[in-house]
Amino acid sequence: MDIHSVKIDLIHWLTELQDKSILEKLQVIKEQQEGTSNLTPAQKKELDDRLKKYESGNMNFSSWNTVKDRIRKRGMDDL
């Protein structure tokens, strides 16, 4: 199938598509291709840095209970 045929096939498919989740995913892909993400360059860099840290195994995680306790303690220290 050549590129023109693929485009026509997708157009027909999209006109009939009712699945909102698929449409939202396609919208994200479209925005990525167009570069219209709502993130600032600094936000994109931060996310990229965190992803690299995660992928290299250098990211520490805490349980939800640990995080809540830390927040409560910080709140008590401010009193």
Q: What is the pLDDT of residues 40-63, one digit of tens each?
A: 889 889 999 999 999 999 988 999
Residue boundaries of the structural domains of the chain: 3-78
In sequence order, which ranges of the chain are alpha helices (DSSP H)? 3-16, 20-34, 41-55, 64-78
pTM, two decimals, is 0.41
pLDDT at 39 (0 to 100)? 79
Query: How far is the C-alpha of 51 from the C-alpha of 57, rounded, in Å?
Result: 10
- The closest of 26, 4, 29 to 15, measured between CA atoms, is 26
Q: What is the pLDDT of residues 7-34, one digit of tens each?
A: 999 999 999 999 999 999 999 888 888 7
